[in-house]
Amino acid sequence: MITHPRTDELAESVRLWIDEIRPTLDPRNAFLARVAANAMATIARELMQGPAAEASAVAGMAAVLGHDGTFAELNSELCARIRAGELTVETPGLLTALAAIARNQIAIDQPSYKPEGTPAA
């Protein structure tokens, strides 16, 4: 059976190659290479962690809203109801769901960021 590299493995390979050639580049292109390498790392994390983060977000939003739906549907409704003042900090489960969504997204976008009070890994 022929197996192909996974998309996250390809993204990581490109990131490593960019990091390898970066020291040979002029300052402007070295900076742009660093930006590209960081983007590739984010893509790899999104591919690996994104599905679980989205599933967790859907579960949290569905619990707060009281019904199922897609991520886009639930997110749109949740935002609209917060803007309308229908959901507030007193809404059971809202802050817990929003905090979990934020933590999961930060883990993908900025994995080295540790919010105050977070134990070091």
Return the residue matching tokens 């990091």.
19
Contact 53, 41 (CB under 8 A): no
Nearest residue to 43 (alpha-carbon basis) of 75, 74, 6, 73: 6
Question: For residue 117, is pLDDT > 80?
Answer: no
pLDDT in tens, 71-93: 999 999 999 999 999 999 999 99
Residue type at position 94: L
For residue 64, which of 37, 29, 111, 101 has the smallest C-alpha distance? 101
Measured CA to CA, the distance from residue 111 to residue 65 in angstroms comes to 29
Asked whether residue 15 carries a pLDDT value surpassing 70, the answer given is yes
User: Are 64 and 91 in contact, with CB atoms under 8 Å apart?
Assistant: yes
Whether the pLDDT of residue 121 is over 60: the answer is no
pTM over 0.85: no
> Whole-number mean pLDDT of the chain?
93
pLDDT of 72 reads: 97
